Amino acid sequence: MPMLVNDSRLEEELIADRRERGIDKFDEVWDGMYVMAPIANNEHQAIQGGLTAILSILISLEKLGDVHPGANVSDQEVDWTHNYRVPDVLVFLNGNPAEDRESHWFGGPDLAVEIVSQWDRSREKIDFYSGVGVRELLIIDRKPWQMELFKAVDGKLKPVSIATEANANTIECQTVPITLKLVQGSKRPGIFVTARDGRSWTI
C-alpha cells in the first residue's frame, strides 16, 4: 500500500532504519521522492540469482560486458541521488556509452530486467528506462505469470512480445544471446532459458 510521509524527521528515521538493517538495496528516488521497494521474497531472489548467473556465464566470462544483480541507474549528471532506479538484473555490453561512476551508472544498460513484486511499480519505470537509453527491458510478472519484452523504437521502449504458460510463446532477446519461455514446474512455472550455442537452464 502506498504511503506519503510529510514529516521530514520521520522520513529520515525510516530511511536510516532501512539502511541500518540492510533492506534499502533496491530503494529508489524518483525525481526527489524516496521510493521504498518491497523486500524481495525467496522466489524473487531465486529468479534474480538464476538470470544473473546465466548472463554472467554468457556475457561476463566471455568478456563481452558487465552483468549486475541490481545497480543504481541515474539520468542526473551531477546529483545522481535525486533520480535513480534499480533494475533487478542489468547487462552493460562493451561499447555501451553509460558511465560507470562506482556508486551508480550514468546512463542505462543494454538489457534491464524487472521482477515484479506485490505493490511495486515496475511498469511506471518504463519512461525512465527509455530516457536513459535502455535497449531492451524484460518484465517478469508472477501474479499471473508472464514475461513481457520491450524494445527501444525511436528512443521509446515498446512492448514486442509476451510469453505465458498458456500461449507457450518464446521471447528472443537481441541484446544478449538467449531465448526465454515459461514451462510447467512443480510449485511454479519455470523459466526455460536457451543460449544460442544450445546450452539451456531452467530457473
Q: What are the sequence ranges of the domains in the chain?
A: 8-202
pLDDT tens for 193-202 read: 999 999 999 9
Q: pTM for this one?
A: 0.89
Q: How many residues does the chain have?
A: 203
Integer CA distances (angstroms), 116 to 15, 74, 101, 155, in order: 22, 20, 27, 24
Distance CA 154, CA 135 (A): 10
Q: What is the DSSP string of 117-139?
A: -TT--GGGGHHHHHHTT-SEEEE
Please write the tens of the pLDDT for every residue from 1-32. 454 554 456 556 665 766 666 556 668 898 88
| CATH architecture for segment(s) 8-202 | Alpha-Beta Complex (3.90)
- In 63-135, DSSP assigns E strands to 65-68, 73-74, 84-85, 89-93, 99-100, 105-106, 111-115
Evaluate if residue 89 carries a pLDDT over 70.
yes
